[in-house]
Structure 1
Amino acid sequence: VFSPEEAAKEIQKGDILVTKMTNPDWVPYMRLAGAIVTDEGGMTCHAAIVSRELGIPCIVGAREATKLMKSGETYTVDARSGVIYEGRVEELVKPAEEERAAAAVAVAQAPVVTGTKIYVNISIPDVAEKIAKETQADGVGLLRAEHLMLSVGKHPRLLIEEGGEQKMIDAFAEGIRQVAQAFYPKPVVYRFLDFKPDEFLSLPGGEKYEKEAGHVGPNPLIGYRGAFRYIKEPDIFRLECRAIKKVREEYGLKNVWVMVPFVRRVEEFVQAKKIMEEEGLKQGPDFKVWIMVEVPSTVLLIDKFVEAGIDGVSFGTNDLTMLILGIDRDDAAVQEIYDERNLAVRRAISHVIRVCKKHGVTTSVCGQAPSNYPEMVEFFIREGATSISVNPDKVIETRNLVASIERKLMLEELANLRKRLDNLERGRRPEDGSLDWAPELD
């Protein structure tokens, strides 16, 4: 299928969804799918991220799946190896009961204690309670807002034009409440709306307020998005702020913090924070304001952002890698050189963490790097990140990995301490060598 409208007519529960690329409009149909296959995209594209949260097998960047796979035929999708088989391959089709039993065993174990907080990324509020119980995560390091916008069903500018501001406030507040309540009193970091102008064209009002308004540029990933939109359209941003205030004050869920995405300039953060304060959201011990570190300018100006009053940062390694390496993360043709482990990316992250540690600013990561590469988990721990936020299917695995890394670091510190003590002790020995071991006894 090639559009959400076509999917609405054709897809049935358990079908394999085969399309070119997904965006937030596809989520209702992705939830019905037994597996997902896309022609385009890489490991950090929409389909890859959401399918992991939903626990659905997914293969992205297949290039010609829409041409080769036929409606009505039976296929087996092996997402672990990236292979699609014609027909049903029994040894690859695990009964759902086995999967549930394995999850139950994992949950029954007491969570491993780590010094580093292990958070979880969430897009869909409906699954928050299930994720909270199954993962026992220390909180939510990234609550995406884009799917809340879909639940409203209209472009926010059209809602305002029709006088439906309260509808958006209530819908967002309800979604945030579901997540905050499921994880209470653990923190939930809500990322303000960061939809790219091409992602909601299918919503009523999308064509008028995005395409006709001139917001859809040649590359939406680096276009009209993030904090810049809040400054240009503060009335929409204020509706989100009011939803947050409603959750915190009316529902009493003070564990909701906020995060400003795709911040290019310090001025954008300062203006966004000013709007928050005007809407009654003031920084304090129980209300933290973070920013996403996704743009090289944020890396280079991190000291200025600290001065501007950020409480924390979270690395969006997907976009940060794209912009440092100059690679479109959704372009399958260049995925072989898209790598969050690149030295340039690691140097940028290391610099930000060092500056933040010096000033007592929290550092986290919510991009896909820790979920995809265990060695990046060790990198973040060694650099001193205070938390790591991963996909739901990686929380338990990451917690165990972090615990082992922290133990290794403690042993290394003990070895270094012993070495320093030995050197100090040697420095106190008599210079005549009277206490040295006799060579003939070696």
Structure 2
Amino acid sequence: MTKPSESIRWFEQLSNRDVPLVGGKNASLGEMIGALKAEGIRVPDGFATTAAAFRHFLEANRLEERIREHLAAFQRGAKSLHATGEAIRRLIRRGDWPEEIAAAIGAAYRELGRRCGAEELDVAVRSSATAEDLPDASFAGQQETFLNIGGEPELLEACRRCYASLFTDRAIAYRENQGFDHLQVALSVGVQKMVRADKAGAGVMFSIDTETGFPRVVVIDAAWGLGENVVQGAVSPDSYTVFKPLLAEPALSPILRKKLGGKEKKLVYARSAGQTTRNAETSARERNSFVLGDEEILQLARWAVIIEAHYGRPMDMEWAKDGETGELFIVQARPETVQSRKQAGVLKSYSLKQQGELLLSGLAIGEGIAAGRVQVIKSASEIERFEPGSILVTGMTDPDWVPIMKKAAGIVTDHGGRTSHAAIVSRELGIAAVIGTERGTSELKDGQEVTLSCAEGEQGRIYAGLLEFEQSEVNLEELPEIRTRIMLNIASPAAAFRWWRLPCRGIGLARMEFIINNLIQAHPMALLNYDQLEDKEARRRIRELTRHYPDKSEYFVDQLAQGIATIAASQYPEPVIVRMSDFKTNEYAELIGGRQFEFAEENPMLGFRGASRYYSERYRAGFALECAAIKRVREKIGLANLVVMIPFCRTLKEADRVLEVLAEEGLVRGRNGLEIYVMVEIPANVVLAEQFAERFDGFSIGSNDLTQLTLGVDRDSALLRELFDERDPAVKSLIRQAIRAANQTGTKIGICGQAPSDYPDFAAFLVEEGIDSISLNPDSVIGVIRRVAEVER
């Protein structure tokens, strides 16, 4: 017989040593209450039933032998998985509580109510298996959770249903695959004071980037209402990314990114037809508002760092906000089990070898590519018809889908975020998935051949047809050490974290115009002069883009700052060189609302571009917005490794005017360590290199434009393609002069042009001439490092 004291443990009595007693989830809750409460981390109070109580329940109802019989029938093929699970769960749900265990649960529940000042306390009832949440035995959503449980009879029923959930079809299949003895695993039930997130919001948080393994960020997903919708992927949540190394600075706000999710519905309390929760539609205001304020985002991120440091590994956490008190709580914490177990020294990369028609896009999960025939399955009741090797397309998944997810070549869902069930399981299985497409089940058809690409940044893309792709693997630990600084060319913030494992020391070129074109889409002058816009369609599109921003210019600054900050964080504290916008007039005109503020030029390549725009009254106010974004990244977010670079600066007088404008906007060379570089892409920059060096902290050679202007060849002309060659002796002579002038004046010099990425021999020439750094496209880094090592030897 089990004594009452053996049936119940209060969370404060537990630690991580008690996994065999109360399972991983409950042991972790006790660990945090005992070890981290002093650090300010709030965990709701509660208690756990023990593994001994579970075994006594089985023994008192004489269930163990009958369960073994059902499992044996399944193992020899005499009974299906579904029939086996249903039969065992029915046995447990019909079991009677041993009197002493029921009394112990009731007494603990009443005591919890007294502690919380409530006669009939609302509680969350969570399952915690004794083999769960271990680094080698983890899977999303193995057992059940029941929310808004009130009163002893309802609590005992919820506990019994938790016991039964140890034998869900998915749990049985998982233990079979992992080789666990089903009856060696016990079930503990955690009973925890409800956080009234139904009146606020909740979500999931990781102390590592879940897609790339970049270890220096916290990723938070948030939705209105109770957190189950986020975990299950039933909604598209808000997503926040926070940079960990700067969280200790109270004056900074190192939020790299805030992305508004659709948050189509929220899980709230219910008391009808036997239900304790129900989904309600969110209001337009809720859908268009962030769940968390900046201070709340930072508080959760700081907690994530503390929890990670305590456990000594990346963590997967669930949080909730109480709508009655405004307080934040951590309600679960367990080890992250995918990225943290990857081999750190090995870099796998995938690339498409063909172009295809883009059908849909969503969040990319993983970095792989998959191709196959579509199979649309809208309900778990249809999963028996799934054909292995197909691309599974569905609205969302829950743990019942795991058996067929394992058989899928790739996965597409309509709903969900990075921390949804579909995303977590796809990562654990190593399957490419595109999550939250919104229209996957309606646009894609059974039998349709498609290719899923998660190898192009955070946007996952679904292309028509079976496209060719390749996979490569490099052991980074085998690469030689070199003296020359190797940096990266990064266009997209979404791609920045993908390459953190490469042995690079900074970013030599981040193109601001790429961020403007892809993230912002609108012309800055159109945002500043919205009320004067003549194009009605442009007004409509800008109104839609900026609907969350009362000030349309703030939209530009905020989105640009987020994009730049993400890139700068990826290599912090190494230098990250951001080139100010370098659109040509015809390219600026293509931005939303741009035609009203641009004019036609015969030769835009040699026209109103680069430095000449920044001090011109035609664009001066737009440049001020660019400067405001740079200031925000350096001073508010705190990424002081950001270096400003001026493109296409034709004369010394122009250099002086641009530096004056930068200073007027608060970007003073040398203040707070600010460095300002200039592109070397016009022969005049080489001829007057010593004088340019007096004005700037560094040079970056743009070999494409320098070649064009040295040889007088339009680089986009198909007829003259054979003449355009960065390795031409005249071009190399200018580059040699620039490097020597920089070295003589003690000015840093690098190259961010395409040539060293394309031609290893050109990279060798640069090293021989004494260049400080070479900035490369990511796919060229490995080959160039090997070539540079040969030259340096």
TM-score scaled by length of structure 2: 0.38
Aligned to 2:687: 300
* Relative contact order higher in (CA < 8 Å, ≥ 6 apart): 1
| Residue 391 (structure 1) shift | 0.6
Aligned to 2:414: none
| Residue 289 (structure 1) shift | 0.8
Cα displacement string for residues 222-248 of structure 1 (whole angstroms, at most 9, x for unaligned residues): 111010011212221121111111111
The answer to whether 1:185 aligns with 2:573 is yes
Aligned to 2:758: 372
Mapping 1:97-246, distance limit 5 Å: 99=471, 102-103=472-473, 105-107=474-476, 109=477, 112-133=480-501, 135-150=502-517, 151-162=519-530, 164-210=552-598, 214=599, 216-232=600-616, 233-246=619-632
> Structure 2 CA distance, aligned partners of 1:168 and 1:231?
19
Aligned to 1:59: none
Mapping 1:244-393, distance limit 5 Å: 244-284=630-670, 286-307=673-694, 309-393=695-779
SS in 2 for 1:121: strand
Letter in 1 for 2:490: I
**Number of aligned pairs?**
320
2:355 to 16, 30, 49: 16
| Residue 17 (structure 1) shift | 5.0
- State percent identity of aligned pairs: 39
Mapping 1:9-88, distance limit 5 Å: 16-17=355-356
SS in 2 for 1:376: helix
Letter in 1 for 2:741: V
Cα displacement string for residues 322-351 of structure 1 (whole angstroms, at most 9, x for unaligned residues): 010010001111101111011110111111
Letter in 2 for 1:286: G
Identify if the C-alpha distance between structure 1 residues 199 and 358 changes in structure 2 by more than 3 Å, giving closer, same or farther: same
> Structure 1 CA distance, aligned partners of 2:721 and 2:646?
27
> Structure 2 CA distance, aligned partners of 1:319 and 1:238?
26
Cα displacement string for residues 199-228 of structure 1 (whole angstroms, at most 9, x for unaligned residues): 133322122111xxx2x3112111110100
| Residue 153 (structure 1) shift | 2.1
8 Å contact kept, 2:353–2:469: no
Identify if the C-alpha distance between structure 1 residues 14 and 200 changes in structure 2 by more than 3 Å, giving closer, same or farther: farther
Aligned to 1:58: none
> Structure 2 CA distance, aligned partners of 1:73 and 1:329?
37
> Structure 1 CA distance, aligned partners of 2:354 and 2:728?
37
SS in 2 for 1:198: helix
Quick check: which one's helix share is greater? Answer: 1
Letter in 2 for 1:388: I
Instruction: Name stretches of at least 5 consecutive residues in structure 1 with no aligned partner.
Output: 1-12, 19-27, 35-71, 75-86, 408-442
Identify if the C-alpha distance between structure 1 residues 386 and 208 changes in structure 2 by more than 3 Å, giving closer, same or farther: same
Letter in 2 for 1:145: M
- Runs of 4+ aligned residues of structure 1 deviating over 6 Å after TM superposition are none
| Residue 88 (structure 1) shift | 7.8
> Structure 2 CA distance, aligned partners of 1:139 and 1:111?
18
SS in 1 for 2:700: strand
8 Å contact kept, 2:354–2:469: no
> Structure 1 CA distance, aligned partners of 2:515 and 2:776?
20
Letter in 1 for 2:594: G
| Residue 321 (structure 1) shift | 0.2
| Residue 267 (structure 1) shift | 1.5
The answer to whether 1:396 aligns with 2:763 is no
Cα displacement string for residues 267-318 of structure 1 (whole angstroms, at most 9, x for unaligned residues): 12111111222222222383211100111121111122123x2111011000
Identify if the C-alpha distance between structure 1 residues 171 and 110 changes in structure 2 by more than 3 Å, giving closer, same or farther: farther
8 Å contact kept, 2:749–2:771: yes
> Structure 1 CA distance, aligned partners of 2:622 and 2:480?
42
The alignment yields a C-alpha RMSD, in angstroms, of 2.7
Letter in 2 for 1:325: L
Identify if the C-alpha distance between structure 1 residues 198 and 106 changes in structure 2 by more than 3 Å, giving closer, same or farther: farther
> Structure 2 CA distance, aligned partners of 1:349 and 1:373?
15
Aligned to 1:52: none
> Structure 1 CA distance, aligned partners of 2:522 and 2:562?
17
Quick check: which one's strand share is greater? Answer: 2
Identify if the C-alpha distance between structure 1 residues 321 and 147 changes in structure 2 by more than 3 Å, giving closer, same or farther: same
Letter in 1 for 2:657: Q
Q: Which structure would you say has the larger Rg?
A: 2
SS in 1 for 2:488: strand
> Structure 2 CA distance, aligned partners of 1:132 and 1:112?
18
Letter in 2 for 1:154: A
SS in 2 for 1:313: strand
SS in 2 for 1:113: coil
Identify if the C-alpha distance between structure 1 residues 372 and 15 changes in structure 2 by more than 3 Å, giving closer, same or farther: closer
SS in 2 for 1:292: strand
Identify if the C-alpha distance between structure 1 residues 88 and 333 changes in structure 2 by more than 3 Å, giving closer, same or farther: farther
Identify if the C-alpha distance between structure 1 residues 348 and 73 changes in structure 2 by more than 3 Å, giving closer, same or farther: farther
| Residue 131 (structure 1) shift | 1.8
| Residue 116 (structure 1) shift | 0.8
Letter in 2 for 1:186: E
8 Å contact kept, 2:690–2:745: no
8 Å contact kept, 2:614–2:661: no
Cα displacement string for residues 138-172 of structure 1 (whole angstroms, at most 9, x for unaligned residues): 11000001122121121111011135221111111
Identify if the C-alpha distance between structure 1 residues 335 and 404 changes in structure 2 by more than 3 Å, giving closer, same or farther: same
| Residue 113 (structure 1) shift | 2.2
| Residue 15 (structure 1) shift | 8.0
